[in-house]
């Protein structure tokens, strides 16, 4: 009986909070750090209209840039941001993010059961505290030009295939690319390289560099390069989002999940330690779970959302969920050197 009243009271409070918008957050500014396509202007406007708050969206296109922005000033510059579960761990470790009040999020009930079961998703809970709300996910498959590659690539090794030399597009990101090299080398733990693994991994990545056309950071950039430069194979860091972009651009592409398993990321919304108004940040995350933003992810970005089953995956596709890497700084330092064209000896210098 008490619980019933308690729940009713909570619902009533929530109704008051969200049915009388414009009063609650007038004059406040929400600083959102998001990936392209997560906070489109029209959706932001809906939220602004509803809350009367002003939303300042900053876009980020790599995990490193994200870490830089959040960690540089102890998360004081942003209120809420989206990060994948693997990357999330170092933010929790550095106490840059704070637990989320899930009771103030009526839209959580819209999520699919596997995302509602937050204990089953590694990394988003610490004890009983919820640090992240899953928002979207994608696997990093291989996109190929069906005119140039008749048979769908079955292995990550295709990226090193000399037949596609100068026709491979690779994402400009250290952590993923080292993991990719580890998968290609058949190393047991792609996110946990042993010290003896590094030289081979670096050589493998230099080989990758020599086989690739160039690198990209944004989905649009990859689509443009793929189309205009006649690329044959693309490591799709943004997954189905890029497939959709390329199809829209009129390129006949196929999408393959390699047998080694596609790295897959699950992006979650988190609230920073520096959030000026946690209620407003929570309201933003809850809004992101509504039908409109969720559908926008699928329709505009080709990303899966957490409230409906993904149209992009096959049941037997093997996904390798991203995990925190052993030394993200080292991975990035080495990757920058590799990308700049250094030789293996110079890359491996301390």
Partner 1 sequence: MKFGIAAKIGLVLAVIGVAAAGTTGFYAYQTSRDLLVDSAKNELLTATQVLARRITSARQEVSRNLQIVAAQPETLATLEDRNPASADRVAALFKSIMQANPGYFQIRLIAATEHGMECVRIDRDQGALIRIAGDDLQEKGHYPYVFETLALPAGATYLSRIVLNREVGAHDGLGNPTALLATPILNSAGRALGLVIISVDLNSIFGLLRADLPAEFQLFFTNGNGDFLIHPDPDKTFGFDKGRRFLVQDEFPATQMLLEKKLMHLVTEADDGRHAGNPVVAAFIAQQVKVASAETSVILGLAMPRATVVKQADRLGQTMAQIVAGLSLVAIFLALILGRVIARPLNSMSTAVEAFTGNNILENLPLQRQDEIGVLARSFDRMQNQIRHHLAELEVRGSELQHLAYHDLLTGLPNRRLMMDRLEHTLANTERHQRHGALLLLDLDNFKTLNDSRGHEAGDQLLVEVAARLKTSIRQGDTAARLGGDEFVLILEQLDGDGDAAATQAEIVATKLLRSLAQPYMIEIREHSGGVIRHSHHCTSSIGIAMFSDCTVTPEELLKRADNAMYQSKAAGRNTLCFSAYSTP
Dist CA 213 CA 94 (whole Å): 37
Minimum distance from CB of 208 to partner 1 (Å)? 10
Backbone angles phi, psi at 198, to 5 degrees: -60, -50
The residues that touch partner 1, with contacts defined as CB under 8 A, are: 33, 58-61, 65, 69, 166, 209-210, 212-215, 336-337, 339-343, 345-346
Say how far apart CA 72 and CA 86 lie, in whole Å. 19
**Closer by beta carbon to partner 1, 272 or else 307:** 272
Distance of closest approach, residue 210 Cβ to partner 1, in angstroms: 5
CB of 199 to partner 1, least distance (A): 16
Min dist CB 20 to partner 1, Å, is 31
**DSSP character at residue 254:** E
Residue 84 CA: distances (Å) to CA of 29, 123, 132, 242, 257: 24, 10, 9, 18, 20
Minimum gap (Å) between residue 202 Cβ and partner 1: 14
The least distance separating partner 1 from the CB of residue 320, rounded to whole angstroms, comes to 26
The answer for residues whose C-beta is within 8 angstroms of residue 161's C-beta and 6 or more apart is 211, 233
Smaller CB separation from partner 1, 140 or 338: 338
163 vs 71: CA distance, rounded Å: 42
Cβ distance to partner 1 smaller for residue 36 or 261? 36
Listed residue (32, 29, 35) closest to 81, CA to CA: 32
Q: In the complex with partner 1, which residue's Cβ is closer, 78 or 287? A: 78
C-beta closer to partner 1: residue 66 or 86? 66
Nearer to partner 1, 54 or 69 (CB): 69
Q: Are 71 and 24 in contact (CB under 8 A)?
A: no
Pairing label, strands 142-145, 253-256: antiparallel
């Amino acid at each position: 009986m008490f619980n019933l009243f308690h729940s009713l009271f909570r619902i009533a409070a929530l109704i008051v909070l969200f049915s009388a918008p414009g009063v609650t957050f007038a004059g406040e500014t929400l600083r959102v750090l998001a990936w392209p396509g997560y906070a489109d202007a029209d959706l932001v406007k809906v939220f602004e209209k509803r809350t009367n708050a002003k939303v300042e969206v900053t876009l980020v296109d790599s995990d490193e840039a994200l870490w830089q922005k959040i960690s540089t000033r102890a998360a004081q510059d942003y209120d809420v941001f989206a990060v994948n579960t693997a990357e999330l761990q170092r933010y929790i470790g550095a106490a840059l993010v704070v637990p989320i009040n899930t009771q103030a999020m009526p839209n959580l009930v819209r999520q699919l059961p596997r995302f509602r079961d937050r204990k089953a998703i590694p990394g988003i809970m610490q004890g009983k505290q919820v640090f992240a709300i899953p928002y979207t996910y994608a696997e990093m498959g291989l996109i190929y030009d069906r005119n140039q590659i008749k048979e769908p690539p079955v292995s990550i090794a295709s990226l090193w295939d000399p037949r596609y030399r100068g026709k491979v597009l690779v994402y400009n990101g250290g952590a993923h690319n080292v993991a990719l090299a580890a998968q290609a080398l058949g190393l047991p733990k792609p996110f946990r390289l042993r010290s003896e693994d590094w030289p081979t991994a670096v050589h493998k990545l230099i080989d990758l560099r020599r086989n690739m056309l160039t690198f990209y950071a944004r989905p649009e950039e990859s689509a443009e390069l793929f189309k205009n430069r006649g690329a044959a194979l693309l490591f799709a860091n943004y997954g189905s989002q890029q497939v959709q972009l390329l199809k829209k651009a009129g390129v006949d592409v196929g999408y393959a999940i390699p047998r080694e398993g596609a790295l897959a990321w699950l992006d979650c919304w988190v609230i920073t330690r520096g959030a000026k108004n946690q209620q407003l940040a929570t309201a933003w995350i809850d809004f992101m779970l509504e039908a409109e933003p969720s559908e926008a992810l699928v329709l505009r970005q080709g990303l899966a959302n957490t409230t409906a089953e993904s149209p992009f995956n096959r049941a037997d596709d093997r996904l390798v969920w991203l995990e925190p890497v052993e030394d993200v700084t080292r991975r990035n330092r080495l990757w920058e050197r590799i990308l700049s064209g250094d030789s293996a000896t110079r890359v491996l210098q301390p």
